Structure 1
Amino acid sequence: MQIITNKFHREMKEHGNDHFPFLISYERLSKYESGSFLWHWHPEIELTLIVKGEMIYTVNDHPYHLHEGEALFGNVSSFHTGTKFENRDCEYISITFDPKLIYGYENSIVYRKYVEPIIQNFSLPAIHFDFSKEWNNDIIAILKEIIAIGQNKEASYELDILMRLQQFWKILCLHNNSAPTMTAYDKRNYDRIRSILSYVDNNYTMKLTLEDISEHIHLCKSECCRLFKRYMKVSLFEFILQYRVEKSLNYLADPQYSIIEIANFVGFNDSNYYSKVFAKIKGCSPTKYRKKNLS
């Protein structure tokens, strides 16, 4: 499986509902075909607690090495992806919630004074709680309490969760009130990255040229390449190949399609080249991958 996103790479999974926009998910990287989940974003805050193993969790342009027992705060609308460390599985719990649960309504004093400075700070995409600071212990303890409350769901559990989220946010505010603000230039660049991802998603089945992509975001070709590499830590060409390979996995799960057909479906004109790229990324040929996952 893979995370389902729309053409803008926004995750389509519902994180709770309008009545209570809060969700606890129990995850493991091995449930994703590639051992990693693809780049995506969502307007909710996501808190990730590592239960077992390790993970390389990349948010925007910064990789975080998360160890067992550690956690990560992922800010609203930040790009993120996670992958196995040294090809070992990782179990983790995600707590996802709409920040409205903290501030109630727009322009409230709680929003303007405590929430807006964090969720509108584009230079604060994530915070790694790695026990390097004493207050990290308090954060981890609160996350574990939230998870336990969500499991038991006793009477008034929603209120108990809201109380813990408020406690969490208070600690966050006390220790992150000096974070710098992202410039308008950086924000514009992230918008351009979203545009590139959307363009690739809409056109990966066809021939993609650097000229077309750079024109789409109104930059020259060299600047387009530099921009993508700077924020995504991979070249645009490599990303397109990886994306096409990931998209081919669903077809490989269906034995009615040949390797030649699958290569064409995802934008490879040459099935031999597709197999070569696939082997480089996945460590085996598409045929071996199919046999392994269909057996």
Structure 2
Amino acid sequence: MPADLALVTDSTAYLPQEAVDRHGIAVVPLSVVVGDEVLTEGVEVSPKDVAEALRARRRVTTSRPNPETFAAAYRAAAEAGAEGVVSVHLSAELSGTCEAARLAAAESEIPVRVVDSRMVGMALGYAVLAAAEARATGQGLDQVAAAAERRAGRSHGFFYVDTLEHLRRGGRIGTARALLGSALAVKPLLHLSGGRIEPLEKVRTASRAIARLEELVVEQAGEGEVDVTVHHLAAEDRAEPLAERLRERVPGLRELYVGEVGAVIGAHVGPGLLAVVLAPR
């Protein structure tokens, strides 16, 4: 691993800890507000905490990241001997995280390339891993940033939620507002498009929605080599069987990971989330 180039991301990448450790990735934690408490994702608040708070109809929101949090990560990289940083983050359409990173980058003593992945979850995580692979081959700052952008640009995120209510409250549904009203009585399928959460299809039951989610992933995967992550929030009983079916049905599957989303994304989607990230190699 070249010592002169650091990688930074945020906690919504939901990378396996093994990958974070292996590649030496700095993960900046974001925050969730539960009631009046500002809590750090993965440190002070867990996915279970958020799911329980939402079920209890407590107010759960996310807070705007402080640029100083990113500035501290960039300073730490410089102090460790890095001569540049590639900082890859969740979609700027969904969060102020990229903006905070760019504000910090402007004051950094070493060059920082901030990459808006226009994705979230492991769709962001795979972009970070692509950057790590490019760095391992000795590529420079701009080339490593470009590798992250390319992987993110090829990736897809499909997801099912039990209700649009949490997305509506958080203002994260973009043109899915058009689904409100009738959509609250059905089971919506959504996807990431242009960095935003957009409606894809409306299905009448949860079982049909999950079956359709599976079909969409299989169709999109085709025959090429792909990595797949199945995300969920308080829905492991749905996620594990879906992952096993995809293992059997996606011919070019290389790596398959099942992981719960954290508090930040959980705050906006609610318990019952089932999502699939598809990242062609």
Taking structure 2 as the reference length, the TM-score comes to: 0.26
Q: Bigger radius of gyration, 1 or 2? A: 1
- Which structure ranks higher in relative contact order (CA pairs < 8 Å, sequence separation ≥ 6)? 2
Which structure has the highest strand share of the two? Answer: 2
Taking structure 1 as the reference length, the TM-score comes to: 0.25
